[in-house]
A and B are shown apart, each in its own frame.
Chain A
């Protein structure tokens, strides 16, 4: 009588409990307190269908301060325990007891959880995600309140069987299991087992393509699951067009909990046929990199095999692992990301999270990332019983800062909405039964699985907002001529009590020496700086700056005496951190190139060599001589712009009152956030990399033809008041 089985899906029964919300996300079974069941059994049944719907007399009156309305809802690897709050109590203890099929105890009753008010944003509906048990086991749960340390009566018990590991053992693909699963978490999945499992998921699912994005120092493959429905798009650019999301699962080799969740999630995405999964995969592509640090994982070290902490290398990309990830970002352009870790602070929440805080990250990206954490993860965590909190929320003032070398910040500087995810390493005071290693490992992994699933839901539900934030950020960066901050964070405001209830992460504002108010327009590198041999990689060999710039995907103009990297491009926040001598961890001290025109110019303007117009006004036509470079930000040109055989053309947040003609450029072309009154022609540009044409407004036709690579809009639509033709037909 507990559940009714229909078409293989558990159907909830109504109990009248205010906590029995029908979950939108996961298939679950729900059970109700035994007292209610007994009451239902003994209640006078009028008709067979109304037995559960009618208000029922309590089987036994609740004792004072006794917890009532206990419900337990099963999900993958955890059970959400919920109850009606008792007024005036200090906290609650959640007790779990192993039972057999007839509900006779087979183990010792154990307090497995302590609920405290700072767990969740709403205290009116307390929930606790109980986890750590071996999935598929059967238990009894009870909850009691405490006033101070005085224990109040336990609730009536609830009995239920937890969900077995995901996947029907009789269905190919679904029946795959990782080493971590088959050993009941006694062993983490080895490298060899991961490759075999990955290959089987790839082989058995049309939805999955496994791509090797690079190799570690020790030549281990770095694989990425590319998952879409019915099949993933065929090329990185086609994937990018679906605004994918990316999960990076294991950068610190001795923090393996998230990686196990990623491997299970890949199987679910590959073989689950529920409506939610198919709905997610029809609309986007999921990118999962289970093991970016394969050498460190195999050796159980934090760093890679050279001892480098890879999460201090995502901007610098001295190591092949980080370089592979950054090239992947360039080619697949995920709009949102999560980066998985474990955290040794035993007082923190279950799931510390943090947005990209570096002050050069566009406000829109910071805001949207914080929205994901506070308005989605905190809210959903309160429903399902997981305690998300800001990283650094409990005695963690030294962590969560502004290093752009950390993926969280690197991604933000690449205009990707994202968050750090930490799994609290130890059970701590709120999960007292985690001395048992397997319990501890399972809680961490299944909390990561919950988070990554919630991340996919957020992406699915908020994609429009994410894309808007990203588009505005790209336009902001390409047109920005404001100050540069080398190190320093935005403040993460303290969330109202009760949650998180403790201090947030430290302010970490920039010091004066980390600010450059008079920002240059570009950096110029010498031949030696750009192509010179480097010694900062493994075995004292590093990729050249030219190769690293290419990995990040920045546009560079070759000039007579060097290489110019204009800031009028989407990663304007990141470029100076690596090319300016004031940077905390720069590659080289590039020469700051300042604007050549910031005021008004009346009459025609002919450009030879390098011109940078910043906040300028030109009343007349602009002509580029062959070999010339124009960088224009926040500039208005009243007249046509004609560039033929130029070395480079950059427009950001500008206005062109007249036609814009860019032809035969032997270098980069990027036009972003710019308003053109007249036709736009981009033809026969032969730099190799795709011209950017993104977030512009064109009053007139847009024509692109003969460019060696078709222009891209970086998934930021242009408004074109006229026909779009040729290579720009879909921009």
Chain B
């Protein structure tokens, strides 16, 4: 049997949205983790993402693979893209690994999407907030209805009791993305349970 393709796309035509950088305006991100992410002229650099919709932008922020997959699985993207402005407080892959076991993550992403949606709403604010805004504010209300205390933490912003921003001020088409170092919300920690290896 010959290969049958789900979709025929010419390799050369691969969309490289993250590669297009507009030299006239550059986006400055800040935080200790920014150095680990695409920068300068590299594909996925912050300037290249500034006009991307949230789902596309997240695909270029290399420490957000878990969050990005979870957001797709949650089917919340159309709702977020329909909003005038949003702030995404996106936990890094390390943060997810420290929070959930593999099995728990699969459970959330595959079977328990209501819980997943609630979890993700706890990471999104209904207006665009810069790092400076977060540092200046006392609290923000996330889409799940929770009020989260925010404030200064060195040059970064503190989010809730545990999290701080680690690479802040990514611009996207309708708002901002800040990478944070802890998962928000109130789900129990399951990391380290039932890791059965390969």
What is the interface of chain A, defined by CB distance below 8 A to chain B? 176-177, 179, 182-187, 191-193, 195-200, 202, 210-212, 219-221, 223, 252, 254, 299-303, 305-307, 309, 311-312, 339, 341, 343-344, 354, 391-392, 396, 398-400, 406, 408, 420, 422, 435-438, 441
Contacts and interface: CB of A to CB of B under 8 A. Distances in A.
Contact of B36 (A176, A302, A436): A436
A212 B198 contact: no
Lowest 5 CB-CB distances: which A-B pairs, in order? A399-B197, A300-B69, A437-B62, A186-B44, A210-B3
B36 A435 contact: yes
A192 B63 contact: no
Contacts of B105: 301-302
Contacts of B72: 299
For B18, B37, B109, which residue has the most chain A Cβ atoms within 10 angstroms? B109
Contact of A300 (B18, B44, B66, B195): B66
Q: Interface residue tally of chain B, by bracket? A: 35 or more
Nearest to A437: B62
B18 to A, nearest CB: 6
12 contacts: A182-B43, A186-B18, A195-B9, A196-B7, A210-B2, A212-B4, A221-B5, A300-B68, A302-B103, A406-B198, A436-B37, A438-B38
Contacts of A406: 198
Nearest to A252: B198
Contacts of B106: 301-303, 307
B111 A195 contact: no
Nearest to A345: B197
For B10, B62, B66, B198, which residue has the most chain A Cβ atoms within 10 angstroms? B198
For A200, A202, A307, which residue has the most chain B Cβ atoms within 10 angstroms? A307
Contact of A193 (B11, B66, B111): B11
Interface string B98-127: 000011011101110000000000000000
Contact of B9 (A184, A193, A420): A193
Contacts of A341: 198
Nearest to A399: B197
Contacts of A398: 195-197
A301 B109 contact: yes
B1 A400 contact: no
A182 to B, nearest CB: 6
B198 A422 contact: yes
Contacts of B60: 186-187
B8 A436 contact: no
Given A220-B6, A311-B198, A197 B11 contact: yes
Contacts of A191: 6
Contacts of A176: 11
A301 B8 contact: no
Contact of A182 (B2, B6, B16): B16
Given A210-B3, A300-B65, 19 more contacts: A183-B43, A183-B44, A187-B18, A196-B5, A199-B8, A211-B1, A212-B3, A219-B6, A221-B6, A252-B198, A299-B69, A300-B109, A302-B103, A391-B197, A392-B197, A396-B197, A399-B196, A399-B198, A437-B37
B62 to A, nearest CB: 4
Interface string B23-64: 000000000000111100011100000000000000110110
A590 B191 CA distance: 39
B97 interface: yes
Contacts of A254: 65-66, 69, 102
A309 B105 CA distance: 13
B110 A184 contact: no
Contacts of A184: 38, 42-43
B54 to A, nearest CB: 16
A309 to B, nearest CB: 8
For B14, B16, B18, which residue has the most chain A Cβ atoms within 10 angstroms? B14
B103 to A, nearest CB: 8
A176 B72 CA distance: 29
Nearest to B1: A212
B120 to A, nearest CB: 14
B69 A195 contact: no
Contacts of A182: 14, 16, 43
Given A179-B14, A399-B196, A436 B97 contact: no
B73 interface: yes
Contacts of B18: 183, 186-187
B1 A436 contact: no
A408 B68 CA distance: 31
B193 to A, nearest CB: 12
B107 A195 contact: no
A408 B43 contact: no
Contacts of A309: 196
Interface in B148-198: 195-198
B183 to A, nearest CB: 16
Contacts of B3: 195, 198-199, 202, 210-212, 221, 223
A441 B5 CA distance: 27
Contacts of B38: 184, 186, 438
For B6, B66, B69, which residue has the most chain A Cβ atoms within 10 angstroms? B6
A187 B197 contact: no
A198 B9 CA distance: 11
B74 to A, nearest CB: 11
B179 to A, nearest CB: 11
A309 B111 CA distance: 14
For B2, B106, B197, which residue has the most chain A Cβ atoms within 10 angstroms? B197
Contacts of B37: 436-437
A385 B7 CA distance: 41
Nearest to B60: A186
A438 B16 CA distance: 17
Contacts of A438: 38, 42, 62
B10 to A, nearest CB: 6
A344 B195 contact: yes
Contacts of A391: 197-198
Contacts of A302: 102-103, 105-106
A223 B197 CA distance: 26
A212 B109 contact: no
A185 B43 CA distance: 9
A182 B69 CA distance: 21
Given A186-B60, A300-B65, A343 B110 contact: no
A341 B102 CA distance: 14
A211 B195 CA distance: 34
Contacts of B11: 176-177, 193, 196-197, 200
A354 B197 CA distance: 12
A195 B14 contact: no
Contacts of A339: 198
A156 B136 CA distance: 51
Given A223-B3, A302-B102, A303-B110, A196 B9 contact: yes
B98 to A, nearest CB: 11
Nearest to A434: B36
Nearest to B102: A302
For B3, B8, B60, B69, which residue has the most chain A Cβ atoms within 10 angstroms? B3
A337 to B, nearest CB: 14
B198 to A, nearest CB: 5
Contacts of A396: 197
A212 B7 contact: no
A195 B2 CA distance: 12
